[in-house]
């Protein structure tokens, strides 16, 4: 069994990450802007409401449709790479956003790449690494996502194959 670490999309997750959310309308003749007060929303709604649901509630009912957009609505993974150093059962999965091909990289290898290229260090956040990826996939896309994969070491498959459980999906060619 492997577990994919995902940022918490609830109001509490945004507060824990200290991730601000701002919104503004890009429609003609509309000057609406919003900065979400996380503490007040927490008091009114509780911690488990998804921020995407809150965004839906803030849209207006104009006949031509609402053009209110939010920045930073995607939950960020603000964990530094150094948190996973030395864990053999943890890999970063680099996945192409177009063809879904992926490869697994040890955290140590990603940190070494960052340091040799002068782009970062072991304190670099996982989301920042995702923005630094510029290489093309075999399908021609440059849209990458990074997922943290944590494999359960008590699983018999881990005891049998060890690090061989991390299989790559071949690149499109």
What would the pLDDT profile of 43-60 be if each residue is shown by its tens digit? 888 888 887 788 778 777
Range of the domain at 148: 81-165
Domain count, the chain: 2
Long-range Cβ pairs for the range 130-133 (8 Å, 24+): 133/94
The model's pLDDT over 79-117, given as tens digits with 9 standing for 90+, comes to 889 888 988 888 888 888 888 888 888 999 999 999 998
The answer on 85 and 64 residing in a single domain is no
Contact yes or no for 22/34 (Cβ under 8 A): yes
The answer on 116 and 46 residing in a single domain is no
The answer on 157 and 85 residing in a single domain is yes
Q: Please say which residue of 71, 96, 114 terminates a domain.
A: 71
pTM score over 0.85: no
The answer on 60 and 18 residing in a single domain is yes
Contact yes or no for 127/6 (Cβ under 8 A): no
């Amino acid at each position: 069994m492997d577990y994919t670490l995902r940022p918490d999309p609830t109001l509490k997750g945004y507060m824990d990450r200290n991730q601000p959310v701002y919104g503004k309308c890009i429609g003609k003749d509309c000057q609406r802007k919003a900065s979400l007060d996380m503490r007040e929303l927490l008091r009114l709604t509780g911690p488990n409401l998804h921020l995407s649901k809150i965004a839906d509630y803030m849209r207006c009912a104009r006949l031509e449709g609402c053009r209110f957009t939010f920045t930073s609505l995607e939950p960020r993974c603000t964990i530094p790479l150094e948190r996973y150093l030395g864990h053999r059962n943890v890999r970063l999965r680099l996945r192409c956003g177009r063809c879904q091909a992926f490869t697994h990289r040890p955290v140590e290898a990603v940190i070494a790449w960052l340091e040799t290229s002068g782009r970062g260090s072991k304190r670099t956040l996982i989301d920042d690494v995702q923005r630094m990826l510029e290489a093309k996939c075999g399908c021609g896309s440059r849209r990458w996502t990074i997922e943290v994969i944590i494999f359960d070491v008590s699983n018999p498959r881990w005891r049998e194959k060890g690090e061989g459980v991390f299989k790559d999906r071949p690149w499109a060619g």
